[in-house]
Chains A and B, each alone.
Chain A
Amino acid sequence: MSDPKTFFLDEEEIPFEEGQTIIQAALSAGKFIPHLCYHPEFKPHGSCKLCTVRIDSRTVTTEDGQSVKIPGRAAASCTTPAQEGQHVESEVPEILDLRRTLVQMLLVEGNHYCPSCEKSGKCMLQGLAYDLGVMDPHFPQYFSKREVDASHPDVLLDFNRCILCELCVRASAEVDKKNVFALSGRGNTKHLICNSESGKLGDTNLAATDKAANVCPVGVILHKRHGFEVPYGQRRFDIAPISDNPVQYAPVKEQV
């Protein structure tokens, strides 16, 4: 049996299997790369860009003997296949600044009022903001006008918090085979819609047990009549930060 292939993530050697993306290999090896639209059960999406890494930067020596770093290409690690001998930078200031800025832009683009959000403490966006050291929104609040769709008997949609990750779209199409959700519009008018004649969730065939109703990384898709049942100190990211135990986000190996 030949030696496993490896690449380098922040100078640490990471094994990978043919066909794995950088983020899949990194998470399987216990190295956390921040992400929002990536999910181990779905096809890569590459839209949130939180998992951006720098690949194959080089250092050259100039004629006067100075060492100069030539940055490699930036790529979404959820859509980029791992390659033998690749040098990947993730936990470096330049990339961390980029991720911090992306989170700040998401926080002002929607209406994210964590204090009254049921997802607080188990929200991926909030968890990443803490993990990346986001101390303020930095950008002016966009104050987008969005509605709540409470028409479904068991599930409520609060569009104020949507980050357009399409996890619900993919879950509904790929797992539930229902196509309840889709994105519509372009640019800053892009938004989540429901696939029913009225446009209301209550007129779709979504069930509270569907994968799509349980995959939202933020506080858009909520189960009705349940809120704040887990006390402070016992919520998911109270117990351990989002970056703890990265293997939990890795793809589950298929049983042979």
Chain B
Amino acid sequence: MRHQFELETARNPEALKRIVIEPVSRVEGHGKVTILLDDDNQVHQVRLHIVEFRGFEKFIEGRPYWEVPVLVQRLCGICPVSHHLAASKAMDMIVNGGILTPTAEKIRRLMHYGQMLQSHALHFFHLSSPDLLFGFDSDVARRNIVGVAAANPDVAKMGVLLRKFGQEVIRVTSGKRVHGTGSIPGGVNKSLSLEERDYLLKDADQMIAWSRDAVRIIKTLHRSNPALYDVFGDVPTTMMSLVDDKGDLDFYHGALRARDKDGEVIFDQVSYQGYSSLLTEGVKPWSYMKFPYITTLGEEKGWYKVGPLARVQNCDRIPTPQAEEERLELIAHGNGKPMHGSLGFHWARMIEMLCAAETIKDLLLDPDIMGAELMATGPRREEGIGVIEAPRGTLFHHYRVNADDVVTYANLIVSTTNNNTAMNVAVRDVAKNYLQGHEITEGLLNHIEVAIRCFDPCLSCATHALGKMPLEVTLVDASGREIDRMTKDSEGRVGKGAA
């Protein structure tokens, strides 16, 4: 496993020149990359900084629990359904111990798979396809979805309509395309009418066909240039995701499984209710985003990646036939070893989109989605943990609610946060391999952004810690000599000396 601290901190930053990519474009939220180079353009430091600041964990405190699934989804405008459902699952634990009626569970699944489809379509077609179709250092004026529409109108149309379908699934199940209210603690507030079911079902086969086409596009690109696709942003690391009780891919529910970089299982069928001892959330003074790692492996070796590439290689099987065929091809491409090149995320992501399209059709044909039993009751608890596989990876929501029905504690580990170290390692790998010793151009810098985009990060979702970030303030005189230094550690302790 590559050392995560390589190129994280230069020894003599003041003597180096600094390149800033800000904002990182075609990702959700606001981030920047800083690169420190010497006079020979040798790379000494690369950091992906998350410069947004949110604070949801803090202002959820004191709010009534039934507001939380609706409130917390405002973290994001791209995959709010993930937060809506993860919070609902946690609140299910609180109101009834986690029981759902078959109708409620299937409506939630339908909503979630609709979201998976629209989010993956958005990312692949709107955000990443310009890089993949035109080249990383192609004309920047053309490198966008408008350029794709001009050069490949059928591809652009496919992307737009796939996303639209996913959004319609969300609208029908939650009331709105973005920020609906369908899922409530203990169940859902509506099921589908026959008209709604038929409205979605009429397009389901087309969506499956287009999703399969999308897999073929990325598969062809990948196979046509393995020298690039197999090694770009190579991050050999542990992979973690939910799998169901048979080890199959499941985006809505399951238990945690992790494989090491060689594909060997580290742990399996671990209940996410014990996530807080399984994972530790590390912090660094230069980022608002935390750096989680598997506790038993330690900070240096315990970092991991989540999301499509982890999920598709972590599971034993995808339960829908066409996606499973494609998964087997991806696995075969690795010749018995897991793929860790960051561009592999796109291939895995399109396989997941195909799985989502197939699952949506299966759910639409299930009469339970038109059932009338929407809510379940059970014993009340004061603590709930809900975990879901969001489009970008494993998402943890953890709440405590007191006897007065008010939230007293909230902790979120957002998908992108899980990938923080892996993204930093990927951009350092790209910087070292592509920028090292070269005259820096826009096209070369776009290589850095391409590596970040592979992870489809949602930077706005991922920055919500409050009061936990260690800080270091250094006072220097005009010549650069350090005069004084104050530090605050992750527990809020203030003192003199290094953090």
Given contacts A151-B404, A232-B175, contact A224 B64 (CB under 8 A): yes
Q: When chains A and B are docked, how far (Å) is the Cα of A151 from the Cα of B402?
A: 11
**Residue of A118, A147, A226, A227 with most chain B CB atoms under a 10 A cut-off:** A227
Contact of B190 among A151, A156, A226, A231 (CB under 8 A): A231
Question: Interface size bucket, A side?
Answer: 20 to 34
* CB–CB A225/B405 < 8 A: yes
* CB–CB B70/A228 < 8 A: yes
* CB–CB B70/A231 < 8 A: no
Interface membership of B452, Cβ < 8 A = no
**Minimum distance in angstroms from B94 CB to a CB of chain A:** 10
Contact of B64 among A150, A230, A231, A233 (CB under 8 A): A150
Contact of B181 among A147, A156, A222, A231 (CB under 8 A): A231
Interface membership of A11, Cβ < 8 A = no
Interface membership of A148, Cβ < 8 A = yes
**Minimum distance in angstroms from A119 CB to a CB of chain B:** 11
Interface membership of A62, Cβ < 8 A = no
**Minimum distance in angstroms from A236 CB to a CB of chain B:** 15
Interface membership of B127, Cβ < 8 A = no
* CB–CB B64/A148 < 8 A: yes
Contacts of B74 in A (CB 8 A): 115-116
Interface membership of B147, Cβ < 8 A = no
Interface membership of A136, Cβ < 8 A = no
Interface membership of A3, Cβ < 8 A = no
B248-274, CB < 8 A from A: none
Nearest chain A residue, comparing its CB with the CB of B191: A231
Interface of A is mostly: loop
**Residue of A147, A150, A228, A233 with most chain B CB atoms under a 10 A cut-off:** A228
Nearest chain A residue, comparing its CB with the CB of B63: A148
Interface membership of B184, Cβ < 8 A = yes
Nearest chain B residue, comparing its CB with the CB of A151: B404
Interface membership of B95, Cβ < 8 A = yes
Contact of B184 among A148, A229, A232 (CB under 8 A): A229
Contacts of B67 in A (CB 8 A): 116-118, 227
Chain A 216-246: CB-based contact to B (< 8 A → 1; otherwise 0): 0000001011111111110000000000000
Nearest chain A residue, comparing its CB with the CB of B66: A227
Interface membership of B371, Cβ < 8 A = no
* CB–CB B405/A224 < 8 A: yes
* CB–CB A225/B95 < 8 A: yes
Contact of A226 among B63, B66, B181, B182 (CB under 8 A): B66
* CB–CB B179/A115 < 8 A: yes
**Residue of B67, B69, B182, B406 with most chain A CB atoms under a 10 A cut-off:** B67
Contacts of A232 in B (CB 8 A): 174-176, 180-181
Interface membership of B322, Cβ < 8 A = no
23 contacts between A and B (CB under 8 A): A115-B70, A115-B71, A116-B70, A116-B74, A147-B62, A148-B62, A148-B406, A150-B405, A150-B406, A156-B64, A226-B66, A227-B64, A227-B66, A227-B185, A228-B66, A228-B184, A230-B189, A231-B175, A231-B181, A231-B189, A232-B176, A232-B180, A232-B181
B: residues with CB less than 8 A from A are 62-64, 66-67, 69-71, 74, 95, 174-176, 179-182, 184-185, 189-190, 404-406
A: residues with CB less than 8 A from B are 115-118, 147-148, 150-151, 156, 158, 222, 224-233
Extra pairs beyond A225-B66, A227-B184, A232-B176 (13, CB < 8 Å): A116-B70, A118-B66, A148-B62, A148-B63, A148-B64, A148-B406, A151-B404, A224-B64, A225-B95, A225-B405, A228-B189, A231-B182, A231-B190
